[in-house]
Structure 1
Amino acid sequence: MDSKYRLGIDAGGTFTDFVLAEKSGQTRLYKALSTPSDPTIAMENGLALIAEDLGTDIRDIISNSDLCINGTTVGLNALIQFRGARTGLICTAGHEDSIEIRNGHKEDGYRYDATYPPAVMLVPRNLRRGVRERVLSNGDIRVPLEEEDVREACRLFLREGIESVAISFVWSVLQPEHERRAASIVREMMPGVALTVGSDLYPQVREYTRTSTAVTNAYLSPILKRYVTAVDAYFRTHGARAPVRYFQSNGGLAVGGFVADHAVYAINSGPASAPRAGLHVTEPFGYRNVITVDMGGTSFDITLTYDGVTNLNKNIDFLRYRIGVPMIQVETLGAGGGSIGWIDDMGLLQMGPQSAGSDPGPACYGRGGTEPTTTDVNLALGYLNTQGLVGGRLPLDVARARAAIETRIAGPLGISLEQAAYGMFTIVNANMVNGIRRVSIERGYDPRDFVLACAGGATAAHITAIGREMGIDRILIPKLASGLCAFGQIISDMKYNHMATCPARLDNGDAYARINGLFQELEANGREQLRKDGFDDSRIRMSRSLDMRYVGQVHECTVEVDVFDIDASTVDRLKDAFHRRHEQLYTYSEPNNTVEVVNIESTLYGVVDKPGRNRLAAGRGAGHAQKGVRDAIFSRDGVYRPAPVYDGNLLGAGDRLEGPAIIEEETTTIVVEPGWTAELHESGSYVLIASARHSASAPH
């Protein structure tokens, strides 16, 4: 397709980010306030900003974009706020309470807390209907499906105004006939209802995980379908020549129809593009160990990439609901620019997780907010320009910020306003550092072996303080930091996960052909799906993984393997890969023990052409970009000290400056603490180095 642009849109809790890339590599970033009640309003507002900047109209931008990509928090917000569809569950009789029993599991950290409340059930007890049927663990049918039970469930659902139905039977992954017949009955009696079939959505062993995944998908599917329908219609009306692609939690793109039917794949799509963007930022420097951190208005998201590979999660509790499908491993905290400072019952200062969001927003926005937030703190500390954010389009009121901190924090604690502000700054940083430790140190990684990649509009004001605390001496902040997730979307590929259950011991010769045949079947289906999306075989690539364990173990681990024919001559490659992975995870392996496969998965990618890289012109020295001096606080004593302020638009490649300093880009502000240097690289990223450790070896 002959086109000028590629457009990425990332809808966050406070701002919606827009990245418009030209094939040459020229990239523009825009922001509009999010409109959670109708996200298409924020899209209209942001596209209007782009059209005004380019001197054209919205239709010209959309019709000249080869891909329009959308990352959305619609599913996430519906799950957080319990605003999903009214859902019914049809399950095997006697298993109506599996989603409530939850394998007897209570989330980590609360296992021995008797006061911790149970999770809210997405399907209330009266809408979980058991039907008589039973498949055995070998796939044999012991009790045929009693179809009248399904019809009775449908009659109840019709009376109750059910919008969405989930079907999940015991051992349906080995014998899906009963689920498929039940689905036919539901479609016959409830033709307008959204339908999720567990063995189609998540065809892998573990009944509770499959049922919980199906229920969550059913709960969100109508919400995502309405959203996708509205967005697709908006873009078609404005001349889109290709279908809108949506970003998934697995780190890839998919068409709207897939996302509407597979809503769980889009639950956490926003931050899932951060690792891809982080690797793009670090690529010119050769770094493959990257911790990408993204602080927006509402949350702080952390992802870890080791040796170029980002961890994927499967079978995890997300917002207290078990999800089986693959998701980029993201640690999310309630620590953003809108996080509210408050004093707890013990008189201790806390930050978040409550957020002022975009409405009313921080006190300094002047929109009725009275609670002191992280943004108010950064303004009071002298880090932010009082003339406003987003190039001055969002003015800030320093008097309101100071009044909120004084009234809510400083006064009650009996300390100065400046000390209160720096204390709030320190606490929100400590919260973020603890999150980074959870994804690194607690999982066996030394954060000092990583480089920090900075994303999000608010992160750059905190990043040197975070790096100092973590012992990380090198930080990369791209000029596109505040829209890095939207940028990550436009350089990502289409991605579909195809899964199957395949219980088989690898000491059994008959298993090899069965595993190999299943892989080939999954991959044939995946190729066909991508061909329909417009990708020929030269642009399709794939990877494989298997869930494996030693015989006698309860839980399995996921093992990535190359694509090859599995037979007696190659099966040892599977075993060796499992032994290595088991030792990496648990420090030991048992080469003489029998290995068994539980599940298999093929991931297929439709490779998208990537925009080129733009190179910055050489600078004329940092002094040329200095626009003034601002008093700011960099220590707990609350004393202001002068810090030079630089206009990021006037800095060029090679320009270098020493902290303390403040660099103002249009959509982010970089605070360079004392003891750090910052240099702008030709790739468009600031390289921040801790001066005291300048001679230390760089991360890999």
Structure 2
Amino acid sequence: MSNGTGHRPRILAIDAGGTMTDTFIINERGEFVVGKAQTTPHDESIGFLNSARDALSYWDTTVEESLAGMVSGIYSGTAMLNRLLERKGRRVGVIVTAGMEDYLRLERAIQTYLGYSYSDRLHTVTHHHNTPLVPRKRIVGVRERIDVFGKVAIPLYEHEARTAVEELLALDIDALVVNLIYSFKNPAHEQRVRAIAEGVMAAAGRSVPIYLSSELYPLRADFPRLNATLLEAYAAEPSREQLQRVRAVTRAHGANFDLRVMASHGGTISIDARELARTLISGPIGGVIGAKYLAERIGAQNVACTDIGGTSFDIALITDGEYQIKNVPDVARFLLNIPLVQIDSVGAGTGSFVRVNPSNRRIEIGPDSAGARVGICYPEGGVDTVTITDCNVVLGYINPDNFLGGEIKLERQRAIAAVQQQIATPLGLDVYAAAAGVVELFEDSLKNDLLGRIIGKGYGPENYTLLSYGGGGPLHVSGYSAGLNFADVLIPSWAPGFSAFGCACGDFEYRYDRSIDLPIFPGSDEATMLQLGGAINAAWDTLADQVAAEFAKSGIAREQIHFKPAIRMQYYGQLNDLEFRSPVRRIEEPGDMTQLVHAFDELYAKIYYNAARTPDFGYLATRAIMTGAVEVEKPALPRRAAGSPTPDPEAQVGAREVYWKGSWATTPIYAMDRLHADNRIVGPAIIEAPACTLVVPPGRLVWLDQHDIFHMQQA
């Protein structure tokens, strides 16, 4: 269905962040518009509708007129993460191997300091245990043991399993998790516990869903496997209800597509997928997928992705065209056996609270944040602590009458008074110098975090193109990129909706992993190599069947799926394995195994020093991976009309006083949508759009390319 302007919206992508909900809508020509509205955590469908209406208003159409003609919708958000953080999940009961009942409380110690600063990690007095998702009384052990080779060392004591189920049912559980030692090697005991539980429930007239770790996450590392399975039962299923609510709203407005959600590995999956815990932090993933898609089209091999929202600063590195996957990531202070695009997140965003420590008079920023409440400058937010946004308003970087296109009115005098009282007076500073000092400290902190991630990979900033997005990216990129000598600094004009754009760039894709732990020693004969190859093939085949089964739920036949086998491997005796795409689809001859090993050697050499290689010790194939993908429609990069280096006079919409490095200067204000390709703007300048502000300080310049991407350089 087309609207009055001839646009036919085809694809809808939603990114419901902690502060704002972005909606990205693409038409039949690959053109797109971005809408923005405040997130509504209690019911994300409200924020989605408001954001979608904002986006479609640019094409003079409505949700009711457009949804019926759309072919796909993709969601990313924080509903599940919020449920986990707030401990608002199901009443789960857990059955474990006897002796492991206190596993969740002990947290392997490592969870007591995840996310801490280096100094706090060193001192155990600062460590603290998280509130368990399941209290000790709802965790029951049963005697049994599968050994490391998958053989039964101790038979399952079935009467104990029966008693355990009865005890847990008496505690009124909503879900049952079964996680037994080495069940990924041999699931027989977990399967038997399920059969016993089903019998007990039938006799009691109860029906409680049962989650087996060997079915959902058949991977080594028992504690992360328990956490991942527990997350599936505790938070994923209740969060599915939130997604179903969003789907119901789209269908009520005429949509016919099956809503998909961005998964942790970088593809999109149906909201009806069996394992939904993979979507725990779907929002930031979209930005990385969008960055990879953009990089492929502009010819950038190495990209440093930086996303500044209201609550966090997220960093991801794309090296040689690929992003890294973590196989045991930590999320919200939980170790999880879920493959996750490697993103480093710092609790520093535009909504981060700013305080002066009274004991040492030091400025402290975050990690807590005002989120969608913006700051003291937003009277309706109810915030009483200064935020980074307040400081930006004080300095004149943000137009208080044009925040979110004027939908939210900010009060500059409230921000000035708050910064004076809470920051300037305790430090004995002028209010504007105090606000500028806060912003400088904030940007220096981001710069140090970014530089540390790049150097930690053995590279320098000059090896990367910096991509800045998120609502706060354009505002602060000049500060956190200064002096780092990036090959280029890119700011898409659609930076506030870039994560939603990335969701639209992801294929419809399922991924399954299985631990295999196969040693590959130098000098192995051909028969041994073929035997190892057969084991890898068998694992790939099993995983491919799982992928096909999930696609079948959406009516997609196996023949339509593009299967991509991968593997994780390490040098024998080392601790860290690496993931890479298999150079062969199946292992049919010894030479195929050799290709697999060589592919690992090449990847290792790109990441670690050559001296760390130990091929003489052999290799260990730790995990088989199968991804199945179905290509979907994706956005095209925009093409803006060419102009001259000098912007048209009407592009400058005014001027205002802005505080730059200790003094005020009358600064030209440009409307982003009135600029043309090849326009160059030398700082100081402010470029405004409804959802973001691009700050160009003195000594820097930006120019706009034909794809609507700003390039920032030294003037």
> Given the two structures, how large is their TM-score scaled by the length of structure 2?
0.91
SS at match of 1:119: coil
Work out which of the residue numbers 436, 444, 448 in structure 2 matches 1:422: 436
Measured after TM superposition, the shift of residue 598 of structure 1 is 2.5
Residues 221, 156 of structure 1: CA spacing in aligned structure 2 closer, same or farther, 3 A cutoff? farther
2:243 counterpart of 1:257: no
Partner residue in 2 for 1:604: 628
2:300 counterpart of 1:287: yes
Partner residue in 1 for 2:539: 518
Residues 151, 6 of structure 1: CA spacing in aligned structure 2 closer, same or farther, 3 A cutoff? same
Partner residue in 1 for 2:33: 28
Tell me, yes or no, if the aligned pair for 1:24 and 1:614 is still in contact at 8 Å. Answer: no
Deviations 1:392-449 (A, max 9, x none): 1111211111111111111111100011110110121122123212421123221221
Tell me, yes or no, if the aligned pair for 2:583 and 2:595 is still in contact at 8 Å. Answer: no
Tell me, yes or no, if the aligned pair for 1:473 and 1:689 is still in contact at 8 Å. Answer: no
SS at match of 1:63: helix
Deviations 1:71-93 (A, max 9, x none): 01011112222223222211111
Work out which of the residue numbers 629, 632, 648 in structure 1 matches 2:655: 629
CA RMSD, Structure 1 to Structure 2 (Å)? 2.3
Work out which of the residue numbers 569, 573, 576 in structure 1 matches 2:591: 569
CA distance in 1, matches of 2:197, 2:67: 39
Residues 73, 532 of structure 1: CA spacing in aligned structure 2 closer, same or farther, 3 A cutoff? same
Identify the range of structure 1 (92-101 vs 537-546) with the bigger mean alpha-carbon deviation: 537-546
Tell me, yes or no, if the aligned pair for 2:305 and 2:315 is still in contact at 8 Å. Answer: yes
Partner residue in 2 for 1:90: 95
SS at match of 2:590: coil
Deviations 1:255-286 (A, max 9, x none): 0111xx42321111100011221234444532
Partner residue in 1 for 2:337: 324
CA distance in 2, matches of 1:438, 1:211: 32
Identity %: 29
Identify the range of structure 1 (47-56 vs 585-594) with the bigger mean alpha-carbon deviation: 47-56
Partner residue in 2 for 1:113: 123
Tell me, yes or no, if the aligned pair for 1:539 and 1:607 is still in contact at 8 Å. Answer: no
Measured after TM superposition, the shift of residue 555 of structure 1 is 5.0
CA distance in 2, matches of 1:385, 1:555: 48
CA distance in 2, matches of 1:550, 1:454: 36
Identify the range of structure 1 (222-231 vs 349-358) with the bigger mean alpha-carbon deviation: 222-231
For 2:157, give the aligned amino acid: E
Residues 505, 458 of structure 1: CA spacing in aligned structure 2 closer, same or farther, 3 A cutoff? closer
CA distance in 2, matches of 1:370, 1:102: 35
2:666 counterpart of 1:642: yes
Measured after TM superposition, the shift of residue 250 of structure 1 is 1.5
Residues 437, 627 of structure 1: CA spacing in aligned structure 2 closer, same or farther, 3 A cutoff? same
2:85 counterpart of 1:80: yes
SS at match of 1:484: helix
Measured after TM superposition, the shift of residue 537 of structure 1 is 6.0
Partner residue in 1 for 2:183: 172
Residues 413, 490 of structure 1: CA spacing in aligned structure 2 closer, same or farther, 3 A cutoff? same
For 2:664, give the aligned amino acid: Y
Tell me, yes or no, if the aligned pair for 1:194 and 1:222 is still in contact at 8 Å. Answer: no
Work out which of the residue numbers 213, 231, 238 in structure 2 matches 1:198: 213
SS at match of 2:371: coil
2:404 counterpart of 1:390: yes
Partner residue in 2 for 1:211: 226
Work out which of the residue numbers 244, 259, 276 in structure 2 matches 1:229: 244
CA distance in 2, matches of 1:188, 1:239: 44
2:370 counterpart of 1:356: yes
For 1:92, give the aligned amino acid: T
CA distance in 2, matches of 1:79, 1:470: 37
Partner residue in 1 for 2:281: 268
For 2:170, give the aligned amino acid: R
CA distance in 2, matches of 1:95, 1:378: 51
For 1:486, give the aligned amino acid: A
Partner residue in 2 for 1:68: 73
2:692 counterpart of 1:679: no
Identify the range of structure 1 (350-359 vs 647-656) with the bigger mean alpha-carbon deviation: 350-359
CA distance in 1, matches of 2:228, 2:335: 6
Partner residue in 1 for 2:5: none
Work out which of the residue numbers 346, 361, 370 in structure 2 matches 1:347: 361
Identify the range of structure 1 (93-102 vs 323-332) with the bigger mean alpha-carbon deviation: 93-102
Deviations 1:559-610 (A, max 9, x none): 4422332232321122223333444435322232232323211122221122
Partner residue in 2 for 1:694: none
CA distance in 1, matches of 2:74, 2:553: 18
For 2:613, give the aligned amino acid: S
CA distance in 1, matches of 2:243, 2:170: 28
For 1:452, give the aligned amino acid: L
SS at match of 2:183: coil
Partner residue in 1 for 2:235: 220
Tell me, yes or no, if the aligned pair for 1:281 and 1:478 is still in contact at 8 Å. Answer: no
Tell me, yes or no, if the aligned pair for 1:495 and 1:604 is still in contact at 8 Å. Answer: yes
Deviations 1:357-410 (A, max 9, x none): 223x31111213232211111111111113121211111211111111111111
For 2:186, give the aligned amino acid: Q
CA distance in 2, matches of 1:500, 1:284: 33
For 1:683, give the aligned amino acid: H
CA distance in 2, matches of 1:370, 1:553: 51
Measured after TM superposition, the shift of residue 156 of structure 1 is 2.6
Residues 535, 446 of structure 1: CA spacing in aligned structure 2 closer, same or farther, 3 A cutoff? farther
Residues 380, 111 of structure 1: CA spacing in aligned structure 2 closer, same or farther, 3 A cutoff? closer
For 2:602, give the aligned amino acid: R
Partner residue in 1 for 2:173: 162
Identify the range of structure 1 (105-114 vs 651-660) with the bigger mean alpha-carbon deviation: 105-114
Partner residue in 2 for 1:542: 563
CA distance in 2, matches of 1:540, 1:511: 26
2:385 counterpart of 1:371: yes
Residues 125, 606 of structure 1: CA spacing in aligned structure 2 closer, same or farther, 3 A cutoff? same
CA distance in 1, matches of 2:121, 2:698: 43
Residues 641, 187 of structure 1: CA spacing in aligned structure 2 closer, same or farther, 3 A cutoff? farther
For 2:222, give the aligned amino acid: E
CA distance in 2, matches of 1:326, 1:670: 34
CA distance in 1, matches of 2:135, 2:635: 48
Q: Aligned residues, how many? A: 686
2:71 counterpart of 1:45: no
Tell me, yes or no, if the aligned pair for 1:163 and 1:222 is still in contact at 8 Å. Answer: no
Identify the range of structure 1 (340-349 vs 543-552) with the bigger mean alpha-carbon deviation: 543-552
Measured after TM superposition, the shift of residue 538 of structure 1 is 6.9
CA distance in 2, matches of 1:273, 1:188: 43
Partner residue in 2 for 1:9: 14
2:309 counterpart of 1:296: yes
Measured after TM superposition, the shift of residue 57 of structure 1 is 4.0
> Given the two structures, how large is their TM-score scaled by the length of structure 1?
0.93
Identify the range of structure 1 (606-615 vs 672-681) with the bigger mean alpha-carbon deviation: 606-615
CA distance in 2, matches of 1:645, 1:555: 50
Residues 353, 454 of structure 1: CA spacing in aligned structure 2 closer, same or farther, 3 A cutoff? same
Identify the range of structure 1 (657-666 vs 236-245) with the bigger mean alpha-carbon deviation: 236-245
